[in-house]
Structures are given as structure tokens and as C-alpha cells.
Amino acid sequence: MRRKTSTIYLRDVPIGSDHPIVVQSMCNTDTRNIKSTLNQINKLANAGCQIIRLAIVDDVAIKSLEEIMKQSTIPVIADIHFDYKLAIGAIKAGVDGLRLNPGNIGSEEKVIKVIEAARDRKIPIRIGVNGGSLNKKILEKYGGLCPEAMVESALENIYLLEKLNYPWMKISLKSSDVPLMLRAYEQLAKKVNYPFHIGVTEAGTEKSGLIKSAVGIGALLDKGIGDTLRVSLTADPIKEVYAGYEILKVLGLSSKGATLISCPTCGRTEINLILLAQKVEKLIERLDVPIKVAVMGCPVNGPGEAKEADIGIAGGLKQGLIFKKGKIIAKVKEEDLFDEFVKELENTVQEYKEENNESITTF
């Protein structure tokens, strides 16, 4: 059961429990470089990114943001730390949302100035509580970092915005410690009904970070917690977007794109299954239809175990079978298997789109 929350809008993208979970990322370009930033935004949008965050470090970045806002096809969030004037500048530049921690902006008077600048357009503000940068007084109160300390820090900032009659917010409680992060979100979920942005901060590289993020984000989503997410990786941001959708698909929370089913290798495998699965996985990254694609190691169990797949391959001795919904449609030599599979995959995509009255595209 999805946790019930209020709804906020970043441009035309709704965030809240009445809407699909939103996948976002953050540019790793220098925001002051307009061309490179827009290029990356476009690539991320094409990969399925729905919201993008940009680091705003100075007044030059604000000037660049003005032009970026004119051209970005997806909502833009300005990531602000310490300087409230940069937040106000981003608002004037037309940004769709802010990410800030009111606690590090400074005095309450400075926070009030930011809120008043944002009020006319009801610009959503993400209150970002990070386990590595909590208020010293709160840490001293609890004797160190713990879920209760993170929750109190979040509530302190939430109450400030509520006092200012500003309900357009979402909350994040990020930490690189997964159990800590889970407990913090679970506790806060019982106290407020604002949308949550979830993720494991500083998760790591594509290899280790994917595992940590899948465990942390997946555990929250399975409890109905989370309205937007970012998979934070030390990698190309496009990898974050793909990972976000894979996590959602595994839990049945998104039908965007194809899903790969592939079996582990074993002693019955007589083709280069690992290479074949990698090639198929790369191929279907571009698909925009929710079909299941299987790559199985042997013809003994392949079509049967993956009979729910819309299309699949089952390897054999120097050859492979191509099947649809468990029914074998072709037997192909190993050297021709991938090329023949691509042809059948294209037919499968076209059939799906015809059945669902969608426009036909080719590879």
C-alpha cells in the first residue's frame, strides 16, 4: 500500500502518492557551461529522466540557469547550499524547484526571504537532510548520528516552512548507511504526509552503488514509501536513470521499457551466454515498450522457464532457439543468432505497438 501524501508539481510533473513514482538525476557538468549542461539534460531526458537537478555555485551559474531554463525540456531543480541569495537568484531565473537545507541557509530571516520569493509560483522546495551534515546540537542531544536525529532535523525544517504557511515541499533523509536511512524514513513517514524523495547518498560506483541503492530504495518502495527517487552513483548519470527504472520494474511499480530475463550459466551452457546476454541487454535499453525479453542458456529448460517472455533466445550446441511466449519459432546457428533475434525483436515491438495503437519505431 502506497503511503498517502500530498501532491506538488514541478512544472507539469506531479509528485505524490496519487501519481507514478518519478525518476530523477543530477547533471555532473559545470552549470556555468550552458552547452554541455543542456547536452547532458537532453541525453538524460531521452533516457527517461523526468526531473534534473543542477548545482548552483555562484552568480555566473545563475546567469547560465536563465538560458538553461529556456531550453530544458524537463523540470529543473536548483541545488543550493549556504547562500540564500543564490536560491532567490535561481527563483528569478525561472527554476522549477529548489533543493536546500533551511538549516544551512542561515537565519530564519534568510529562509523567509527565500520563501517569499518562491511563494507566487508555489515553487516546491526539497528539504534535504543528509546524515553527514546534521546540526551539531541535534547530534549532541542524541549522542551521535541516528534515525531520531535525522527525523528531528527534518521536522525542525518542516515546522519552519509550515509556520510560514508554505506547504509546497518534499523531504529527503539521505545517508550512505542503508539501515540508518531506512529507519529514518520509516519514522518520519508516520509523522508527516509530504512527498518523499528517496535514495542512498554517496552510494558508490556503478558496481557497489547499484547494489546498495537497490537494497535501500527497494526496501522503502516495498513499504509504500517514496514518491520520487535518484540512484546516486559515481558514474555517468544516465546509469542512474536506467537503474531507477529497473528498481521500479522489479517491484512492479513501472512499466517503462523492456525487462530482461536471463539465466545463470551452468554446465549445460554451450554458447557464449554471457556475451549474448550483455548484447541483448544493451540492445533493449533503447526500447520504449514494456515487453519481457529472455536470454536462456539451454533449450532443455529455456522456453519453458521463460514462457512468459514476449520473445527470447535459448542456447544450444553451436546454435540457439528463438521463441515467443514459450513457442519455438526458429532454430539458428550461433553466429547468426543475435542478428536473427534483432529482426524478431523488431517484429515483436511492432506487434505490441499495433495492438496498443502506438506509433511504430524501428531500431
Residue range 174-195, pLDDT digits in tens: 889 999 999 999 999 999 999 9
Of 250, 273, 307, which residue sits at a domain end? 250
**Same domain as 271, residue 232:** no
| The pTM of the whole model exceeds 0.75 | yes
**Same domain as 264, residue 214:** no
Q: Which helix (H) or strand (E) holds 311?
A: strand 311-315
Apex 62 CA angle, 102 and 234, nearest 5: 70
pLDDT for the residue numbered 355: 86
Q: Is 115 exposed, middle or buried (0-12, 13-18, 19+ CB in 10 A)?
A: buried
pLDDT for the residue numbered 161: 93
Q: What is the CATH number of the domain that holds 301?
A: 3.30.413.10
**Same domain as 136, residue 266:** no
Q: Own/partner pairs for 148-153, CB < 8 Å, 24+ apart?
A: 148/187, 150/175, 150/180, 150/184, 150/188, 151/184, 151/187, 151/188, 151/191, 153/103, 153/129
pLDDT for the residue numbered 334: 85
Residue entry with cell 547562500? 83
Does residue 266 sit within a domain?
Answer: yes
Q: 33-42 burial string, b = 16+ CB within 10 Å, else e? A: ebeebbebbe
pLDDT for the residue numbered 362: 52
* Domain containing residue 342: 259-355
Of 204, 220, 250, which residue sits at a domain end? 250
**Same domain as 183, residue 281:** no
What pLDDT, in 10s, does the model give residues 99-130?
Answer: 987 667 778 889 899 999 999 999 999 998 88
Does residue 361 sit within a domain?
Answer: no
Look at residue 172 and tell me whether its pLDDT is greater than 90: yes
Residue type, 127: I
Does residue 2 sit within a domain?
Answer: no
Does residue 1 sit within a domain?
Answer: no
Look at residue 361 and tell me whether its pLDDT is greater than 90: no
Contact 181, 163 (CB under 8 A): no
What distance lies between CA 124 and its chain's CA centroid? 18
What pLDDT, in 10s, does the model give residues 194-204?
Answer: 999 999 988 88
Does residue 30 sit within a domain?
Answer: yes
What would the mean pLDDT of 141-162 be, rounded to a whole number? 93
pLDDT for the residue numbered 359: 64
Calpha distance 69→235 (Å, rounded): 25
**Same domain as 291, residue 245:** no
**Same domain as 149, residue 39:** yes
Order of strands, edge to edge, in the sheet holding 292-296? 259-262, 292-296, 311-315, 319-324, 327-333
Overall domain count for the chain:
2
What pLDDT, in 10s, does the model give residues 6-36?
Answer: 999 999 999 999 999 999 999 999 999 999 9
Nearest CA to 227 among 126, 81, 119?
126
- Output the average pLDDT for the chain: 91
Look at residue 360 and tell me whether its pLDDT is greater than 60: no
pLDDT for the residue numbered 141: 92
Least confident of 65-74, 212-221, 270-279: 270-279
How crowded is residue 227: how many other Cβ atoms within 10 Å of its Cβ? 26
**Same domain as 91, residue 141:** yes
Calpha distance 136→134 (Å, rounded): 6
Q: What is the CATH number of the domain that holds 81?
A: 3.20.20.20
Contact 75, 98 (CB under 8 A): no
Of 231, 250, 269, which residue sits at a domain end? 250
Calpha distance 176→178 (Å, rounded): 6
What distance lies between CA 99 and its chain's CA centroid? 16
**Same domain as 130, residue 23:** yes
Does residue 327 sit within a domain?
Answer: yes
What pLDDT, in 10s, does the model give residues 244-273?
Answer: 999 999 999 988 889 998 888 888 787 888
Calpha distance 104→149 (Å, rounded): 16
Look at residue 216 and tell me whether its pLDDT is greater than 80: yes
**Same domain as 216, residue 319:** no
pLDDT for the residue numbered 133: 74
Q: Which residue has the higher pLDDT, 301 or 56?
A: 56
Does residue 60 sit within a domain?
Answer: yes
pLDDT for the residue numbered 363: 54
**Same domain as 222, residue 271:** no
User: For residue 163, how many C-alpha atoms fall within 13 Å in the half-sphere facing its CB?
Assistant: 10
Q: Which residue has the higher pLDDT, 179 or 297?
A: 179
pLDDT over 90 percentage in the chain:
67
Look at residue 352 and tell me whether its pLDDT is greater than 80: yes
pLDDT for the residue numbered 304: 77
pLDDT over 70 percentage in the chain:
97
Does residue 190 sit within a domain?
Answer: yes
Calpha distance 171→149 (Å, rounded): 15
**Same domain as 197, residue 53:** yes
What would the mean pLDDT of 160-175 be, rounded to a whole number? 94
**Same domain as 192, residue 143:** yes
pLDDT for the residue numbered 298: 80
Calpha distance 256→316 (Å, rounded): 31
Residue type, 327: K
